[in-house]
């Protein structure tokens, strides 16, 4: 309502005081090429770890082949980088739903970048064998952590995001459904979303830069979020835990 009296001046809460300039920081300010910027968030250590566990899967798959096809060999850092580059390229060109036969067509209608990087069969083989953790200890870790297959890489990626970028002052807690139809214990079906099937996560959406920040889902927080699906009263307990994780960020949270 309109009022002729000005609002009383109150002391600004500590969490709403901006202490850092929004935008790139640290090594993020020094990255002057797209490749250097990409390596800040997915460095050689993370790529090497992916190569290690992917080769572990490849070794297990080799035993099921009676003959040795041309694509059946251990991968390397260069190949995994090429694979990630292809996936990013297909996403940027909105080709994620195209069949690989069309993408790797050699009649002039295919995508030359993908054809030059690797063969269609080797691409499908790498996507099938791509792993991010030690499969021999996954069952034990998965008992109390739903993100066990990607936990280590996930935490390192979030750490790189916090170290190289500061969000703006206008952020909102937002639920986002990432389209996914693979095997996942916490996959959800939301009919009013474009993807309908996928993984629902809560993010901090920056209104100025259109950037979304994933929260640090601890094991306890992930389990509590699962319980919230069947017990709505637990949502506010979960939200309070989520808010505590974002307490140190120099921004004002606006809930939708």
pLDDT in tens, 118-170: 999 999 999 999 999 999 999 899 888 888 888 899 889 888 888 888 877 77
Of 25-29, 61-65, 74-78, 237-241, give the lowest mean pLDDT range.
237-241
How far is CA 51 from its chain centroid? 18
pLDDT in tens, 85-95: 999 999 899 88
Position 245 scores a pLDDT of 53
pTM: 0.75
Position 219 scores a pLDDT of 46
pLDDT in tens, 191-249: 888 888 888 877 777 777 666 655 555 444 444 444 455 554 444 455 555 555 555 54
Where along the chain do its domains lie?
A: 22-161, 167-255
Position 213 scores a pLDDT of 59
Position 256 scores a pLDDT of 38
More confident call, 97 vs 204: 97
pLDDT in tens, 7-47: 777 787 777 777 777 788 888 888 888 888 889 989 999 99
Position 212 scores a pLDDT of 60
Dihedral class, residue 51 (left if φ above 0, else alpha if ψ from -120 to 50, else beta): alpha
């Amino acid at each position: 309502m309109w009022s002729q009296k000005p609002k009383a001046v109150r002391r600004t809460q500590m969490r709403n005081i901006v202490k850092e300039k929004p935008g790139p920081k640290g090594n993020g300010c020094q990255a002057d090429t797209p490749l250097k910027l990409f390596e800040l968030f997915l460095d050689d250590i993370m790529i090497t770890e992916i190569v290690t566990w992917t080769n572990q899967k490849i070794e297990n798959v080799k035993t099921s082949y009676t003959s040795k096809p041309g694509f059946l060999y251990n991968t390397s850092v260069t190949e995994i980088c090429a694979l990630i580059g292809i996936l990013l390229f297909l996403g940027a060109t909105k080709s994620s739903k195209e069949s690989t036969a069309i993408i790797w067509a050699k009649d002039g209608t295919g995508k030359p970048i993908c054809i030059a990087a690797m063969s269609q069969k080797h691409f499908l083989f790498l996507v099938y064998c791509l792993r991010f953790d030690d499969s021999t200890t996954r069952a034990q870790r998965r008992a109390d952590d739903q993100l066990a297959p990607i936990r280590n890489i996930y935490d390192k990626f979030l750490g790189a995001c916090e170290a190289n970028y500061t969000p703006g002052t206008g952020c909102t807690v937002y639920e986002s459904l990432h389209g996914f139809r693979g095997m996942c214990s916490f996959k959800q079906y939301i009919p009013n979303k474009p993807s309908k099937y996928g993984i629902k996560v809560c993010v901090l959406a920056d209104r100025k830069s259109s950037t979304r920040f994933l929260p640090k889902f601890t094991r306890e927080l992930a389990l509590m979020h699962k319980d919230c699906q069947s017990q709505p009263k637990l949502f506010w307990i979960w939200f309070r835990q989520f808010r505590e994780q974002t307490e140190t960020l120099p921004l004002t949270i606006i809930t939708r």
